[in-house]
Amino acid sequence: MPAATPAVSPAWIQVFLDVPVAELEPAVTFWSAVTGWQPSERRGEDGQFLTLLPAAGSAYVKVQAVDGPAGLHLDLDSTDRPAAVDRADELGATHAWTYHDVEVMRSPGGFTFCQTLVDGAPSLARDGSTILDQVCLDIPAAHWDAEVAFWAALTGREPQVGALPQFVRLVEDGRLRLLLQRLDEPDGPVRAHPDLATADRAADTARHVDLGAVVRGVHDFWTVLTAPGGQVYCLTDRDPTTGTRAV
């Protein structure tokens, strides 16, 4: 399958944390505290959108109030949106709906993403602090091969198999990382959660719990938590300055 051209592959990927309307305020307070980023002014017809603004580098984490359960979707910013939509369609994506001029699509396994336009020449800044720098796509086994092929082709990133065979990384310097995880579930829709790179997982876990998070599970290299507002996320043993796991 031919590689995507620069105008078609996303120049920037943004994270949208989808939060139930009634939980928006505690969720914004929590995510602002754990990232250290300030919330922007609200926007949208009902004030349902905001951006978390880092002190350095470009913004890429946003929050949206939704009439439904907590979740996550991606905005794929390109320089040529019609071409990007056509490319996604060629690779097996389907149209979900249109919001104003934004095409909302679903991957072959059902994960929602938006086709948006890039603004300037954004870059992700790292200062050594704990950072939300990765989104993990949680993929039931039936969709694994199709989703890995789809996201690799769509992003133009080379798949990297992790130390554990159920993980594949799609990495580009200065950009949000994508991690694909094959679940034990035989089938079902693809979903996603954010990952934060931390140099001290135990200390960050304690801090997040003090801010209202609930621990769901502790594993060898990551801890699963639920944030106020219902967002499931992980604290992962990765160097915040590089995004990679320390050996």
| Confidence check: pLDDT of 44 > 60 | yes
Residue 164: pLDDT band (50, 70, 90) is: confident
What is the spatial distance between Cα 1 and Cα 91, in angstroms, rounded to a whole number?
A: 9
Instruction: Summarize pLDDT for 1-16 with one digit per residue, the tens.
Output: 445 555 589 999 999 9
Run of H or E including 83 = helix 81-90
Provide the pLDDT for residue 1. Answer: 44
Residue 117 pLDDT > 60: yes
pLDDT digits (tens, 9 = 90+) for 199-209: 999 999 999 99
Q: Please determine, for residue 221, whether its predicted confidence score (pLDDT) is greater than 70.
A: yes
Q: Is the pLDDT of residue 238 over 50?
A: yes
DSSP state, residue 243: S
* Per-residue confidence (pLDDT) for residue 38, from 0 to 100: 98
- Answer whether residue 181 shows pLDDT above 50: yes
Bridging pattern class, strands 214-218 and 222-226: antiparallel
Residue 80 has a pLDDT of: 95
pLDDT, averaged across the chain: 95
CA distances from 18 to 28, 70, 104, 133 (A): 11, 5, 14, 17
What is the separation of C-alpha 40 from the centre of its chain, rounded to a whole number of angstroms?
19
Mean local confidence (pLDDT), 150-166:
93
Model pTM? 0.95
pLDDT of residue 7: 56
Q: Judge whether residue 73 has pLDDT over 50.
A: yes
Q: Is the pLDDT of residue 43 over 70?
A: yes
CB 31, CB 234: distance < 8 Å: no
CA dihedral 85, 7, 242, 244 (to 10 degrees): 50
- pLDDT at residue 8, as a whole number: 81
Give pLDDT tens digits for 85-114. 999 999 999 999 999 999 999 999 999 999
Percent above pLDDT 70 for the chain: 96
Pairing of strands 94-99, 102-106: antiparallel
pLDDT of residue 163: 81
